[in-house]
Amino acid sequence: MKKMTRLIDADAVYKILESCEIRKATIGNPLTDWEYGYTCGIERAESEIECAPTVDAEPVRHGKWIDGGSFKYKHGGRNSEAKELFGTEWRTMRRIKCSLCNKITLVDDTIPYEYCPHCGARMDG
């Protein structure tokens, strides 16, 4: 199974490492073996973070759906099979527009997409 790339804030990790109590207590004092090993571990972690590869990430864009009204259409034409499957030949469609890219999407259910299929914006606005 492929692991998903996880983006972290490296500066926040540095702050956590800097705030370690033993590291603060040992500055300017002789180190015990345990303290020396602990401090070396922290320094190694900082070095690994510095050398870690970076990725090009695009910030998540947030938008909202703008209701563009609904219309009815004849599903399946005069096909009696469609009437059996859906209870009626007429279906209701809604037009919804993305607040970011202004493109219209047609949906026939009551819950629109969580993301815009045109620009990829998360629709949680």
40 and 83 housed in the same domain: no
- Compute the half-sphere exposure of residue 34: CA atoms within 13 Å on the CB side of its CA: 1
Give the 3-state secondary structure of residue 89. coil
Could you tell me the residue range of the domain that residue 109 belongs to?
Answer: 62-123
End-to-end CA distance of the chain: 33
Q: What is the dihedral of CA 21, 22, 24, 30, to 10 degrees?
A: 160
43 and 14 housed in the same domain: yes
Q: What is the dihedral of CA 116, 117, 118, 123, to 10 degrees?
A: 0
Q: What is the pLDDT of residue 83?
A: 56
68 and 116 housed in the same domain: yes
Q: What is the pLDDT of residue 24?
A: 58
Mean pLDDT by runs of 10 across the 125 residues of the chain is 75 86 64 81 90 83 89 62 59 87 84 87 87
119 and 70 housed in the same domain: yes
The DSSP H or E segment spanning 82 is helix 80-86
14 and 34 housed in the same domain: yes
Phi, psi of 65 (to 5 degrees): -85, 135
The verdict on residue 1 lying in a domain is no
Work out how many domains the chain is built from and give that number: 2
